[in-house]
Amino acid sequence: MANEPYLPGVDHTDEREDRIVLHVDADCFYAACERLREPDLEGEPVVVGMGYEPGDSVGAVATASYEARAFGVESAQAISTALEVLPRRADAEDDPNLILEETGHYRPVDMDYYQSVAAEVKDILHDCADVVREVSVDEAYLDVTERTAWSVVDGFARHVKDRIRREVGITVSVSVAPSMSAAKIASDFDKPDGLTVVRPGEVREFLAPLDVDLLHGVGPVTARELRSMGLETAADVAAADPEPLVDRFGERGRELYDRARGDDDRRVEPKGLPKSFSRESAFDGPVEEREPKRELVETLAAAVADRARREGALYRTVGVKAVRPPYEVNTRERSLPGPVDEPDLVREIALDLFAEFESEPVRKLGVRVANLEFSEADQTSLDGINWEDRTGSEEADSSTDGGDDGENDALGGADSSSPTERVTDAAEQLDLETALASDSGDRDETERSTDEDDEERANRETSVRGSGQVSLDEFE
């Protein structure tokens, strides 16, 4: 389609003021990739675990197929909890008490493989649109204003879906709207394998009945605040006096008001290089024991360092976040003498920064590397550096009572002994109160490469609405 800017028969002589934005979101992406590799898994319950190894009961659910969800497996559950409701198929051979049809297939995350599949999808997206914004490994926005027209956009969107299914072998849900925020919301309405079109002039009507927590950029904390102001639906926000919203939320209040009315003039633009990579994970409830928290910090540090290495990034800052009940967000960070790629160092610094919270009850933890560099510049030598005594360290404290603890992340909770990945994508990716990662009908894996523009902030704040997939995100 590279040389075919329009579908046949499309009259494109008139100028159109309303842009045509597609939001493409892969359905249960990790599980779909595993089924590509193992076709026998088609139709079977599939669970993909972060930090999981075959035969183990540790780690957290990164994504669960719809068949697995029917048994009660949820994203962010501890693998041990998932195994209680959906035993491992491999164990059924040795346990006569297990019913084969009530068991599932568990697989560890294989990000390199998933990214190779995602690359095939993105090749198609770039072939179908002049402008593509890749939000995460499984999510993207397309501006197809110059490729089609509203009168035939349904067929164009289905063409995109069919190409991906035919050429890659996975299903995606596609939404079409005249703005990015409306397209994002619409993508959750018809999953899996869905197609939702919101035409110009229909956006405000489409948004009106939605609960406020379904608005793009609204997470649990903001939703509670809006409801405390008597605003239950998007229609309520759209009809409200914007001044109290601005007083309560600052500039975001005006943005919420505008979005609820369907006003969003942002253009789809390719993303720049990320400024940081981070992982966040929440427990089912406050955890005081030292070891589960340290174990989680080590797991998150390893995941972040691995992501940076895979992306070819060096980092100058390592940070941690600890959320104490009820919603007290604390961050610490340390600057390094130069850009490095040292996974062991990330782990050591993260544990050191977290030490002050080891005896504190904690609901959620995060690890981040920031101040990224993607050049081929030589890495600073770490030999001989005394990390405890060096003068180059710098720690920052940001404690906020009542702040958003990121409960809108793409993953849920875990038991106190087995950490659960709740990583804030892609938002789509990803300032906790203001930003992917999403997932109502199925907001799948959003491994968020975050820059701090409106889209990533909105993705971070959007409630999880059904994905069951880990997302990578940035925390403040």
Give Cβ neighbours of residue 1 (< 8 Å, ≥ 6 apart): 127, 128
Give the pairing of strands 172-177 and 46-50. unpaired
Burial (CB < 10 A; 0-12, 13-18, 19+), residue 108, is: middle
Task: Give the H or E element holding residue 89.
Answer: helix 89-92
Measured between alpha carbons, how far is residue 299 from residues 60, 153, 420 in Å? 11, 44, 10
Question: Is residue 134 annotated as part of the catalytic site, yes or no?
Answer: no
Angle between helix axes 220-228 and 242-249 (nearest 10 degrees) is 130
- Work out the widest C-alpha separation in the chain, in whole angstroms: 71
Residue 192: asked if its preceding bond is cis (omega within 30°), the reply is yes
Measured between alpha carbons, how far is residue 399 from residues 260, 288, 323, 369 in Å? 31, 19, 9, 19
Out of 34, 74, 139, 333, the active site residue is 139
CA dihedral 452, 432, 472, 462 (to 10 degrees): -100
Give Cβ neighbours of residue 274 (< 8 Å, ≥ 6 apart): 311, 313, 372, 449, 450, 451, 474
Burial (CB < 10 A; 0-12, 13-18, 19+), residue 454, is: middle
Report the catalytic residues: 139
